[in-house]
Amino acid sequence: MSPDLALRRRVFWVVLAGTAVCVAAAHWLEARLSYDVGNAKYMRHGSFGAALGRYPTSAVSARTVCILGNSVYQNHRIVPVMERLAREERRPVRFINLALTGAGISDYVVQAALAARHRPDLLVICLAECTFLPLGPKFRSDIDQQAFEPTVLAAVPWSYYGRHFTLASAGSSIVASIFPLARLDPVLRNRLTHMDVFPTMLARHIHFPHLNLVADFRRRARQRGQPVVGGNWPELPPAPDYLRTLDELLAVLERGGVPTLFLWQENRPTRYSQEIRAPVLGRIAACPIATVADFSGQWSAENFKDMIHPVPRHRETYARRHYQAICGVLDRL
Amino acid sequence: MLFNSWLFVGFFVAVYLIYLRVGHPAQNWLLLGASYFFYACWDWRFLSLILISTGIDFLCARRIEVAATARTRRRLLLLSVTTNLGLLGVFKYYDFFVSNLDTLLTTVGLPCPLTTLGIIVPVGISFYTFQTMSYTIDVYRGRMPACRSLRDFALYVAFFPQLVAGPIERGQRLLPQVQQPRVLTPDGLRRGVWWVLLGYFMKVYVADNLSPWVDLAFSTAPVSGPTAFIGTYAFAFQIYCDFAGYSLIARGTARLMGFDLMENFHMPYLAVNPSDFWRRWHISLSTWLRDYLYIPLGGNRHGPRRTYVNLALTMLLGGLWHGAQWKFVLWGAFHGLLLIVFRLFERSPAPADGSSAARSPAPRSSLLAAFRRLGATLGFFHLVCFGWLIFRCESLRQVWEFPYRIVTDWNWEAADREQLAVFGLLVGPVILLDLVAEWRRDVDFVVRWPWPVRQAAYVTILAVLALLGSRGQEQFIYFQF
């Protein structure tokens, strides 16, 4: 055997073994970092770490409600209030909170496909005008890193992939599924910054991920002196393909056969509110397994600190309203 | 597909594993397919441009070789050059010239409705068109035979490590490596690993961490003195580490596969004069411009005045190569001016072959010469920084505003001093590496370190990348050119 061939073989086995070790270690790390999202738990890493929130596997006699939402459900302790209310009423309901900061209609398609495989009794999807606005990247969470996993591929229409992915972004997603460190990276780095490993001097001047994908995207655009996409929310028209994406979401839900409640959250009306709401509500109404609870008219300046986030004193009312809507649907099932 | 993405890491590992297991012809097919996939990840539609450029140049070179008359050969060369420059003209410069012509005509009172195409510049078009053109010209000049295999030639044009941002290789160097079976050597692998690691260090740790500072400095108005100061130096090191980092990753990945791509950067900020700088900065472009533009224009063979004109023209076109904007032309003009002034005052001209003697004009033993060299290096570095202001500015006003603010507003607050310290932590290792490499006259001195020391250095770099490397996945600056 020539020296070149021998060296090539050796390098091949070294690279192969190294890759296998790295891939196995990354999967092990992801499994170690993952956590159960039942029992008033929430997704811990803002827009990131979507693969870490593990759907509870333990069997319970209660009915399961899986919630796909945005920062309101992730960060404003709505679900713990709901659980308390359920306990007070002795209603056997278990809530699984999969809400991610910034989640939009495109994120919901993949999330719905992933959630449907666990067959919850009810899937709740939170909507607001901002769900349909082009506020930056197509995906506003890292759920796109799971879009090429077999469950999702089997449930989501190809048209969705055609519009939402390029060759490069599809490749990135596939790489992240094979080598999960790619999608864990921002989460790990964020953890490090919170462990005070770095001198404050470095932490102040080197950019570490903030775990809010849309906010980071917009901040970077401002730094570059570029126009910020979706700079002024209330004036922004919806994304051009938002109805097609909604159709694809409904198709995923129908295929999964999971009853779904669309909760239109309390939100301040925008310039395009009517243009967005009418067709969306019409399409949902036409879907046999979907219902809508519309709370958009409940928004008031004194109870909300911005377009959708309630002030702390209003949380109880907010959660109770949503809880009642969910129970209403559960009772009818 | 950016080098600094997980996608590229996955892509390269997959390609490399297959590459190691197959024979030479299959390796070339594999690399060709991988290169087209790599490019298609940017925009698959622009693959057609690479295919056109490849097809035309392959056929023209074959015909040139067998053409019976000089006239036919010239026509074929003209076809090749016109096609390549035509692609560049339409996709890179058309909108620039049309909008300027429109402004001119409107100014002189002859408004004429001219429509721009609004095309995004295809990634890497300036690099691969220059590479293919040089091949046809070399065949025309009889310096190399035409390539007989379309597969090999297509791989020469599209070889993925250097496809989108160089180094701009020559047919005489790269084609034989494509055509002959590559041999892996332990030394080659060691160098490849080191270049890849150093490249990532320069790109992800230095350049990408500096990028937000630079963007902020150049988009702030009015800028403060400290911000202008840090912004100016930060951009000088951002562009160096960004481009040199890319080149090193390209060379390193190619080296791991047995290819030897040319050196593109040789400690450029240690240059002592303009001529020295252009032997160290973007070497593949500067030598291309020398061989295919400056020398054919007459070089320095027709007296000083003609030499200055040739220098100015070469640098103006070199500036325009970087992008369809007046600031790049101005940057080229600035460097042209520096070269002319240097030639005017030059006592003993440096050897034209870029030998080491030219790179270090001062003998190391003499203390005075060392000080003189230090002064020349620092002085010229600041001229280069002024050039970078022209290159990076959002408006020409900034070119004067930045130095003015640096001189007049020397009010450093605690946050500014802290940022300066972080700047030192970012660029310090690169400066140190360059100084040691220059002093030892060995750019790859780390490769010769004992095994444990070398591994410790690699682990340190990996740790720095993991902990402090930017995850912004910033584009490489030179991709837009």
Distance between CA B131 and CA B159 in Å, rounded?
11
DSSP of A67-103 = EE--HHHHHS-HHHHHHHHHHHTT--EEEEE---TT-
- DSSP for residue B270: G
Q: Which of B99, B259, B247, B116 minimizes the C-alpha distance to B178? A: B259
Residue B218 is predicted with a pLDDT of: 86
Q: Is B37 in Cβ contact with A172 (below 8 Å)?
A: no
Residue B354 is predicted with a pLDDT of: 45
Chain B, residues 326-385, CB within 8 A of chain A, namely none
- Encode pLDDT of B271-304 as tens digits: 999 999 999 999 999 999 999 999 988 888 888 8
B contacts of A186 (beta carbons < 8 Å): 471
Is the bond preceding A150 in cis, omega lying within 30 degrees of 0?
no
Residue B95 is predicted with a pLDDT of: 80
Q: Is B185 in Cβ contact with A223 (below 8 Å)?
A: no
B contacts of A15 (beta carbons < 8 Å): 13, 16-17, 20
Backbone angles phi, psi at B424, to 5 degrees: -60, -40
A contacts of B394 (beta carbons < 8 Å): 225
Residue B355 is predicted with a pLDDT of: 47
What token pair was written down for A88? 């007070």
- Burial tier of B303 (Cβ tally within 10 Å: 0-12, 13-18, 19+): exposed
DSSP of B28-69 = HHHHHHHHHHHHHHHHGGGHHHHHHHHHHHHHHHHHHHH-SS
- Encode pLDDT of A47-97 as tens digits: 888 888 888 877 677 888 999 998 888 888 888 999 899 889 888 888 899
Distances from the Cα of A84 to the Cα of A67, A78, A123, A319, angstroms = 16, 10, 20, 10
The model's confidence at residue B466, banded by pLDDT at 50, 70 and 90, is confident
Q: Which of B472, B432, B385 minimizes the C-alpha distance to B209? A: B472
pLDDT higher than 70, residue B357: no
Q: Is B472 in Cβ contact with A207 (below 8 Å)?
A: yes
The model's confidence at residue A232, banded by pLDDT at 50, 70 and 90, is low
Q: Is B11 in Cβ contact with A172 (below 8 Å)?
A: no
Positive or negative, the CA dihedral A177, A178, A180, A182 is negative
- Encode pLDDT of B370-386 as tens digits: 888 889 899 999 999 99
The model's confidence at residue A105, banded by pLDDT at 50, 70 and 90, is very high
Smallest Cβ–Cβ distance between B212 and the set A11, A12, A223 belongs to A223
Choice between B354 and B477, residue whose per-residue pLDDT is larger = B477
- Burial tier of B125 (Cβ tally within 10 Å: 0-12, 13-18, 19+): buried
With CA atoms as reference, the chain B residue closest to A216 would be B472
Distance between CA A262 and CA A273 in Å, rounded?
17
Cβ-based neighbours of A97, under 8 Å, separated by 6 or more = A37, A40, A41, A42, A43, A67, A69, A73, A74, A79
**Cβ–Cβ < 8 Å for A232, A138:** no
Residue A274 is predicted with a pLDDT of: 85
Q: Is A202 in Cβ contact with B468 (below 8 Å)?
A: yes
A contacts of B467 (beta carbons < 8 Å): 189, 192, 197-198
- Encode pLDDT of A267-320 as tens digits: 888 888 888 888 999 999 888 889 999 888 888 888 888 888 888 888 889 999
DSSP of A123-134 = EEEEE-GGGGS-
